[in-house]
Amino acid sequence: MRGIDEDTGEYRGDSRSQQRREALEVLALGEQLVALTDAQLAKLPIPENLLPHILDTRRITSHIARKRQMAYLAKQMRREDDETLEAIRDALDEKGDAARRETAAMHRVENWRERLIDEGDVALGELLEEYPSADRQHLRQLVRNTLEERKRNKPPRAYRELFRELRGLLLGGASAESGDEDAGEGEDGRP
């Protein structure tokens, strides 16, 4: 029962404002879950009783009906214990971190590609110092082909091939150096 405890003088429960903030947080979590794909949902620790509600919400396209279904999903989620909701939030945060790491790795590959095209042999020498297992001739040929493609205004086939080669070199070498925890990072990224 809400109110002030007569013996201690302290409040017995959360204020309405706090309850509303918590309800809105659960609603936002529900919206995140509805936006995920089936494969992403399968990786999260979602209780079996919530999964049909998430899938139902995803199917509804009418604005008002979807809003009503989201409210119902949030109500069902609030019935779960706090540990379950925290586990789902933590799993979603890990996905965000992994995506940021993957994006940073892709930017690193793109930066090396641009450096190789702009700086030529100077950048190639620096790359070979960091990654001695790289094939100098193959990389040099890909850079030449990329420059030729640009000059002739052709489709960027060699440009993409250079990216794939660098991605294999940089991310493959990084996973071997850092151990098994990063072994799968970036392998399922862009083509």
Q: List, for residues 56-84, the tens digit of each pLDDT value.
A: 999 999 999 999 999 999 999 999 888 88
Helices (H) and strands (E) in the chain, counts: 8, 0
Flag whether pLDDT at 178 surpasses 60.
no
Cβ 27 vs Cβ 70: under 8 Å:
yes
Read off the pTM.
Answer: 0.48
Cβ 87 vs Cβ 81: under 8 Å:
no
Residue 177 pLDDT class (50, 70, 90 cuts): very low
Instruction: Write out the two tokens for 48.
Output: 């079996």
**Farthest CA pair distance, the chain:** 86
Sign of the four-CA dihedral 105, 107, 113, 119: negative
Report the distance separating Cα 44 and Cα 157, nearest Å. 38
**What domains does the chain contain, in order, with CATH numbers?**
16-80 (1.10.60.30), 99-182 (1.10.60.30)
Report the distance separating Cα 175 and Cα 4, nearest Å. 58
Report the distance separating Cα 87 and Cα 44, nearest Å. 8
Q: 16 Cβ partners below 8 Å, 6+ apart?
A: none
Amino acid found at 81: D
Residue 186 pLDDT class (50, 70, 90 cuts): very low
Instruction: Write out the two tokens for 43.
Output: 């990786």
Amino acid found at 168: G
Cβ 147 vs Cβ 117: under 8 Å:
yes
Flag whether pLDDT at 114 surpasses 90.
yes
Flag whether pLDDT at 49 surpasses 50.
yes
Residue 129 pLDDT class (50, 70, 90 cuts): very high
CB atoms within 10 A of CB 90: 12
CB atoms within 10 A of CB 146: 21
